[in-house]
DNA sequence: AGATGTGAATACGTTCACAGCC
DNA sequence: GGCTGTGAACGTATTCACATCT
């Protein structure tokens, strides 16, 4: 049996994966632990230890083979298949998510888009035709969707989440700022840009204050 | 001098802050460490230790006063002021970000929106009129903006980042999936929905495989 | 009852220093 | 020279168990 990896480790592996994929797009062939550390905010020593932990070796003086690294991490994390996603909300945000290349590039296909506004039904966003939310359950079953994205106004988020759960969705990506109440076993993730801002601003103002007191 | 808090601690404090703010909106008065733990994914014992570390006490049998908690954390993190942000990209994504109440609610004001498409200049997104990107430098200086959001197509992101840095922006929120190359001292953050998906899916498939081998 | 608060043990992450390889 | 690989020491986080308060 394959051992289950530590949460911290898998979390960091996804960061190396995404960073390395981007560096490959820039034409890079090898990446160093120092670089991965800079882009991910993780200590280079930790990067080397992590890659070691999954039995992936680099070459000294050069770094890690970017392509092999991506393959190794994808294998370890079991990210070889693609996933169909259900997106609810065909407004500006939903349209932006559906048209972006980011998700498909990583194996996540926006397979269905739903809304409750009759004016939006039948329109095309990205490559898919917007359906009425009442068809959610049927589509989820047909396309074997376990991941749902909520890109509705905040006021609709909880209700949409409940319909998703009822339809069989297991993982919900929530672009609104409401706290979703879901049954155990359902994973929710909020996309919250302020999280990183608040954290960064704290250190930014700390540095400013230190500089101020040094001048005194 | 006020001591600088550990990165891990400040990171967790922002999570307590955001969840507690949302619970207040739901009409809640007190919150328990158990609840905060459930919504943030942090162990309840850790929650109590953290609140203890910033000298914030709850009442046994009840929990923590939600409103006081928000105030205490905001004070500790220095999040009492509001920040003006510059948003570049007035497409679907930019419009969605500018119209959302999420940022203003947390003290982040979308003060200026820029684009390079003449058709979009002069339009209103959210509450602000779209300006040409050439005015970035002037606006950043006038409104004292240190935070910028990139909501352009991926192909424009690096160039926009460079213009932001030149204009004096210190923190960049990047909604594209390109790796931004910026000078030291500039903080960048990618909004990457796949990060959390990949991590979650790993554990989801692990659980499935465990169940499978139990049946064997 | 139902929470907070805290000691103690353990696991995990971070950092330094340096050996080893290309 | 530049980067990987790793031992050792340290600091931080996690968890258990239980005393304590309302």
Instruction: Answer yes or no: is B37 a known binding residue.
Output: no
Return the pLDDT at B214. Answer: 63
Q: What confidence tens digit (pLDDT) does each residue in A121-154 have?
A: 999 999 999 999 999 999 999 999 999 999 999 9
Q: Which fold has domain B83-193?
A: Rossmann fold (3.40.50)
Rounded to an integer, the average pLDDT of A189-200 is: 94
Distance from residue A60's CA to nucleotide C20's C1', rounded to whole Å: 9
Alpha-helical (H) ranges within chain A are: 7-25, 33-40, 44-53, 66-77, 92-99, 102-105, 136-143, 154-167, 193-215
Q: Does the pLDDT value for residue B1 go beyond 60?
A: no
Residue A34 is predicted with a pLDDT of 96
Q: Which nucleotides of C are covered by protein (CB under 7 A)?
A: 1-7, 12-17, 20-22
Chain B residues with CB under 8 Å of A6 CB are none
Q: What average pLDDT does range A30-58 have in this prediction? A: 96
Examine the pLDDT at A210 and tell me if it is beyond 80.
no
Class of domain A7-77: mainly alpha
Nucleotide nearest to B47 (CA to C1'): C4
Q: Which of A35, A66, A33, A78 is nearest to A52 (CA)?
A: A33
Average pLDDT over residues B196-210: 85
- Please answer whether residues B62 and B42 qualify as being in contact, where contact means their C-beta atoms are separated by less than 8 angstroms: no
Quote the pLDDT of residue A208.
72
**What does the pLDDT read at residue B147?**
98
Q: Which positions of chain D lie under 7 Å from any protein Cβ?
A: 1-7, 12-17, 20-22
Nucleotide nearest to B61 (CA to C1'): C3
Residues 69-88 of A with CB under 8 A from B: 77-79, 83
Per-residue pLDDT tens over the stretch B100-132: 999 999 999 999 999 999 999 999 999 999 999
B59 lies within 8 A of chain A by CB: no
Mutate to test the interface with A, among B20, B24, B102 (most CBs of A within 10 A): B102
A20 near B CB under 8 A: no
Does position A196 have pLDDT exceeding 50, yes or no? yes
Question: For residue A21, which of B180, B198, B202, B179 has the smallest C-alpha distance?
Answer: B179
Confidence check: pLDDT of A1 > 50: no
Q: What is the mean pLDDT of residues B191-210?
A: 87
A18 CB within 8 Å of a chain B CB: yes
Q: Is A154 on the interface with B (CB under 8 A)?
A: yes
Which pairing describes strands B147-150 and B171-174: parallel, antiparallel, or unpaired?
parallel
- Helix ranges (H only) for B26-126 are 33-40, 44-53, 66-77, 92-99, 102-105
Q: Decide if A197 touches B, using CB distance below 8 A.
A: yes
Model confidence band, residue B16 (pLDDT cutoffs 50, 70, 90): very high
Say whether residue A57 is in contact with chain B using an 8 A CB cutoff. no
A77 CA to chain B: closest CA distance, Å? Answer: 6
**Range(s) of chain B covered by CATH 3.40.50.720:** 83-193
The pLDDT, as a whole number, for residue B152 is 98
Q: Look at residue B206 in the predicted model and tell me its pLDDT.
A: 80
pLDDT reported for residue A72: 96
Q: Is strand C in 7 Å reach of the CB of B6?
A: no
Q: pLDDT tens, B40-69?
A: 999 999 999 999 999 999 999 999 999 999
Question: What is the residue-averaged pLDDT of chain B?
Answer: 94
Q: Residues B140-164: what's their mean pLDDT?
A: 98
Q: Is the pLDDT of residue A162 over 90?
A: yes
Q: What was the pLDDT predicted at A5?
A: 87
Burial (CB < 10 A; 0-12, 13-18, 19+), residue B46, is middle
Name the segment(s) of chain A with CATH classification 1.10.10.10. 7-77
8 Å CB contact between A123 and A89: no
Q: Is B89 annotated as a binding residue?
A: yes
By C-alpha distance, the chain A residue nearest B8 is A199
Does the pLDDT of residue A103 top 50, yes or no?
yes
């Amino acid at each position: 049996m394959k051992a289950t990896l530590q949460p911290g480790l898998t979390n960091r592996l996804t960061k190396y994966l995404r960073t390395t994929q981007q560096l490959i797009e820039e034409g890079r062939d090898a990446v160093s632990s120092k670089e991965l550390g800079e882009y991910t905010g993780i200590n280079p020593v930790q990067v080397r230890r992590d890659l070691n932990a999954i039995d992936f070796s680099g070459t000294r003086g050069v770094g890690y083979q970017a392509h092999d690294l991506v393959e190794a991490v994808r294998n370890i994390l079991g990210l070889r298949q693609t996933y169909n996603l259900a997106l609810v909300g065909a407004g500006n945000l939903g349209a932006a998510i559906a048209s972006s290349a980011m998700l498909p590039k990583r194996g996540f296909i926006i397979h269905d888009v739903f809304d409750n506004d009759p004016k939006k039904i039948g329109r095309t966003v990205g490559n898919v035709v917007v359906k009425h939310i009442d068809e959610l359950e049927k589509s989820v079953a047909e396309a074997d969707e376990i991941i749902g994205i909520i890109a509705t106004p905040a006021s609709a988020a909880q209700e949409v989440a409940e319909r998703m759960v009822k339809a069989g969705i297991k993982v919900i990506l929530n672009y609104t700022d409401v706290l979703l109440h879901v049954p155990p076993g359902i994973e929710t993730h909020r996309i919250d840009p302020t999280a990183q801002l608040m954290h960064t601003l704290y250190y930014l103002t700390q540095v400013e204050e230190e500089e101020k007191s040094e001048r005194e």
